[in-house]
Structure 1
Amino acid sequence: MLNIVDLRDQVDAEVDYTTMVPRAPFDVSAALDIVAPVCQDVATQGVEALQRLSEKFDHVVPQHFRVPAEALHRALEGLDPLVRQAYEIAIERRRVVAFQELGPQQVDVEVATGAVISQKMIPVNRVGLYVPGGRAPLASSVIHNVVPAQVAGVAQIAVTSPPQAEFGGLPHPNILAVCALLGVEEVYAVGGSQAVAMFAYGVDGLCRPVDMICGPGNIYVAAAKRYVQGRVGIDSEAGPTEIAIVADDSAIPSHVAADMVSQAEHDPMAGSVLITDSEELARKVDVVIAAQAAQARHSARIHEALKGEQSGIVLVRDMEQALAVADAYAAEHLEIHTRDADALAQRVTNAGAIFIGTWSPVSLGDYLAGSTHVLPTGGGAKHSSGLNVKSFLRAVHLIRYQQGATDAVAKDVIAFAESEDLPSHGNALRVRVEDPDGSRA
């Protein structure tokens, strides 16, 4: 069922595995021309544009773009008790981990006598969270974005999710229920690139601009985030979700197959990749995947994802080559199913999150493991981290030099400034040394 990529005859030092591993293109630039006029319409026409765009893209115009408080409470009251319990466990575990991520809020370093540099962590003031509402109502995304923002100390958190015709123009009730559980009261029924524009530019009488936009979405949401970046901060341009699994002949085929199928369930563009040195495991996984996919509720979507160019089985010589391939792929989610999974995990350098051993499937991280599930895609793990508390904090340096400490390095600053042909920079130190009390002014 799966495409096979055989890399066993490749020499690590001579090849770029990045070009050889399965991955579908995700061209955000191509969508920019489409989202640019949408964003500009929202910026200039406000609610009128939201009404027109909501009708066009969501096929429903909400009675209220801002979700009424009673709708949030009603959604929470109507939540299935078992689902509510799962949400509460997820919130509790993510919050526990988030507090550990927070770390010290101020660090003071005395670089010389009378010369102190402090670093203070200041939270972003206002954050807008986009929550998809298409194939799957990602209530989990609310938890994994809101909890670290709250722990970071973000003062204002606004959430938006596409209006759903079947729910009277409101977002999915589960999304509203989680917002209520988390105490988020500013919730909007706006979707797509117009929602990103609403957060970036603000809409008079409805929504004030935010300082940062986070949350996943389709290629148009990603393109809109790129379009408004600079005016506001963004978390990332999330592409299709992906999983890579490094496995040897000790792996359990049904476990590996189930995790690849679960990732394919997200989207027809989702990537599921097995990297293994065992041909026997590869054959077994391929057979089991076909059986599991055929029985799945979203069988058509899963088959499309698994048969796409972004999914497949990569055959390698040994675990050393497997590690090299995994680091080149830089998976959003990396599972390790090997005899020495812990040791191998410590050697990985590029992954959004690493799931160690057969009892740590990605599905745990998606929901309530306590880790973040907002992770870099498309190889972004080579340079970016998953969303965490520090994503919502800005590091600000406070510089406190006493007179003696400044005098001690004045000549060095003057020399440095002259070397860059910026003499007035040096003069700012010279006047302090020559006229410390300003009496010559």
Structure 2
Amino acid sequence: MKIERLTRALSLKRSIETGTEQQRQTVRTIIEEVRRKGDEALKEYTERFDGVLLESLQVSKQEMDQAYEQLDSSLIAIIREAAENIREYHERQKRESWMMMKEDGTILGQKITPLDAVGLYVPGGTAAYPSSVLMNVIPAQVAGVKRIVIVSPPDAQGSLPAGVLVAACELGIQEIYKIGGAQAIAALAYGTETIQPVDKIFGPGNIYVALAKREVFGQVAIDMIAGPSEIVVLADETAKANEIAADLLSQAEHDERASSILVTPSMKLALEVASEVEAQLETLPRKEIAAAAIEQYGAIYVTETMEEAIAAVNELAPEHLEMITNDPMSLVGQIRHAGAIFLGRFSSEPVGDYFAGTNHVLPTNGTARFSSGLSVDEFVKKSSLILYSEQALVANAAKIAALARLEGLEAHARAVEERLKKQGGETS
């Protein structure tokens, strides 16, 4: 693993997933076919890309029951406990509508309204992601969303992973469809005979899913275009090299483009971590993926001081930041840019990924400089409320009209003045 003295500005920015022209055209064709042919197109594309001809797109109750039979009861209990932790955390994010009354009788406020319907894309393939179900569905439910739809690509037998189905069922989600790729995004955005459209689409996927989300944005809202995972560990000489190495590899095994970085003022720790990463790589089942990520996007940066290390972290603006120092709470106030912050040696990143309760859907590619992780806020709209009193209008009509005329909008000015005429008053 590369060790460097920090002498330059740092950045986690990697090329944005815009795809090739051929990929973009393929996605446009798929979307248009789904709009034109509906369910027929969904079945055709599922057969072509997933190798299975589906009789029904929707997961049946029988399939849900079978999922419970396939999953060990201890795992079901863990899913339930994780769901409770996630719900408890997100309940604290819930916003309430509010109103304020001014002395002149004017009432101003904000009305919070949950979205009517949202769609969640759960990636498929060789892995199962019940945690994605929990992390996306629970804040939607806390927000008050009534209709939550899950789509996920089926395996060659036309099934979804048992863990995904159990997680969905535990949360009371019944509308689950066995479709993936760009065609699933198109169905959520435009609807088909079987699937009613939604208002916003959440969840990560491959390049075709990412491009499809770009294409349908405007017809519906989307959460984000997720980039490769990333972790930065800020550590001092009190940290344990074997633990840091394990944490760096926990992200490297995600993807060959994942980024794993250690920033530390301790050269001794840097050398120990580099050695540990090489040793632990040898026994990882996903060794090739992790090794490629470490080679391309892994690094250890050694600074002169902890202050320089913190400045480097803020420059990186990582998705996940672990602070493994003697007293991380004394330093956390200096962190300005990070998607999620893990404090102390027992707060390993997977704790947040799965169980603690915080959300693991986080900004990547340096976007933590200006954006936040998934929260209840993503599932609501905010409408301003204005009840202007007669007293306020009489006092301020001339000012409002003056601003309108400054912008050349005469009808705006007259709309205010007409109300005073009806009361027998005149504006100046």
Q: Any residues of structure 2 matched to 1:93-242 within 5 Å, and which?
A: 93-103=85-95, 105-165=96-156, 168-204=157-193, 206-242=194-230
- Give me the whole-angstrom Cα distance separating, in 1, the residues matched to 2:33 and 2:315: 41
Q: How much does 1:307 deviate?
A: 1.5
The aligned counterpart of 2:312 is 325
**Deviations, residues 375-423 of structure 1 (Å, cap 9, x unaligned):** 1111111111111111101111111112112211101101111111111
Partner of 2:352: 365
Distance 2:122 2:393 in 1: 51
- Displacement of 1:55 in angstroms is 2.3
Task: Give runs of aligned pairs for residues 389-408 of structure 1, distance below 5 A.
Answer: 389-408=376-395
Amino acid in the other structure paired with 2:29:
P
CA distance in 1: counterparts of 2:424 and 2:72, whole angstroms:
71
**1:13 alignment counterpart:** none
1:111 is displaced (CA, Å) by 4.3
Which of these residues, 259, 262, 276, is aligned with residue 288 of structure 1? Answer: 276
**Aligned residue-pair number:** 423
2:308 maps to amino acid: Q
Q: Secondary structure at the match of 1:27?
A: coil
Give the aligned partner of residue 266 of structure 2: 278
**Distance of 1:188 and 1:408 partners within structure 2:** 58
- Equivalent pair of 1:218/1:239 in contact (CA under 8 Å): no
After superposing on structure 2, the runs of 4+ consecutive aligned residues of structure 1 that deviate more than 3 Å are: 29-34
- 1:33-74: CA deviation from partner (whole Å, max 9, x where unpaired): 342222222121212221222122222233321111221122
Q: How far, CA to CA, are the matches of 2:97 and 2:50 in structure 1?
A: 46
One-letter amino acid of the structure 1 residue matched with residue 209 of structure 2 = V
SS in structure 1 of the partner of residue 183 of structure 2: helix
1:250 alignment partner in structure 2: 238
Asked if residue 54 in structure 1 is aligned to residue 46 in structure 2, the reply is: yes
Give the distance between the partners of 2:172 and 2:211, measured in 1 at CA.
Answer: 30
CA deviation profile, 1:64-114 (whole Å, cap 9, x unmatched): 2111122112212432112112111110001111111103x1111234521
Deviation at 1:139, TM superposition (A): 0.7
CA shift at 1:373, angstroms?
A: 0.6
Change (3 A) 1:79 1:123: same
Picking from 32, 35, 41, the partner of 1:43 is 35
Between the aligned partners of 2:104 and 2:93, the Cα distance in structure 1 is 32
Kindly indicate whether the alpha-carbon contact (under 8 Å) linking 2:259 and 2:298 is maintained by their aligned counterparts in 1: yes
Q: Partners in 2 of 1:282 and 1:395 — Cα distance?
A: 47
Question: Does 2:13 align with 1:6?
Answer: no
Displacement of 1:340 after TM fit? 2.7
Structure 1: distance between partners of 2:61 and 2:424: 60
Match of 2:285 in 1: 297
1:17 aligns with one of 10, 22, 43: 10
User: In 2, Cα distance between the equivalents of 1:263 and 1:115?
Assistant: 53
Counterpart code for 1:63? E
Letter paired with 1:290: E
Q: CA contact under 8 A between 1:62 and 1:170: conserved in structure 2?
A: no
Quote the Cα distance in structure 2 between the aligned partners of 1:265 and 1:391: 29
Letter in 2 for 1:64: S
Counterpart of 1:26?
A: 16
Relative to structure 1, is the Cα distance of residues 318 and 50 closer, same or farther in structure 2, using a 3 angstrom cutoff? same
Contact 1:114 1:405 in 2 (8 A): yes
One-letter code of the match for 1:6?
Answer: R
SS of residue in 1 equivalent to 2:282: helix
Percent of paired sites with the same residue: 39
Give CA-to-partner distance per residue, 1:342-371, whole Å, 9 cap, x none.
122221111110001111011001101110
CA distance in 1, matches of 2:413, 2:245: 65
Cα separation, 2, equivalents of 1:111 and 1:195: 49
Distance 1:44 1:287 in 2: 57
**Alignment RMSD (CA, Å):** 1.7
| Cα distance in 2 for residues equivalent to 1:301 and 1:418 | 63
**Distance in 1 between residues matched to 2:372 and 2:169, nearest whole Å:** 28
Is residue 3–residue 270 contact of structure 2 (8 Å, CA) maintained in 1?
no
Contact 2:19 2:207 in 1 (8 A): no
- CA deviation string 1:254-304 (max 9, x = no partner): 110111111112222221111122121111111111111111222222212
Tell me, what secondary structure is at the counterpart of 2:356? coil
Residue aligning to 1:432? 419
Q: TM-score, normalised by structure 1?
A: 0.92
Distance, in Å, in 2 between the alignment partners of 1:127 and 1:384 is 21
Q: Which amino acid aligns with 1:329?
A: L
SS in 2 for 1:85: helix
The answer for the alignment partner of 1:416 in structure 2 is 403
Q: 8 Å contact 2:86–2:135 — kept in the other structure?
A: yes
1:437 Cα deviation from its structure 2 partner: 7.8
Q: Which amino acid is the alignment partner of residue 311 of structure 1? A: G
Pick from 333, 338, 348 the counterpart of residue 351 of structure 1: 338
Counterpart secondary structure, 2:36:
helix
Unpaired runs of at least 5, structure 1: 11-15
The structure-2 alpha-carbon separation of the partners of 1:123 and 1:344, relative to structure 1 and needing over 3 Å to count, comes to same
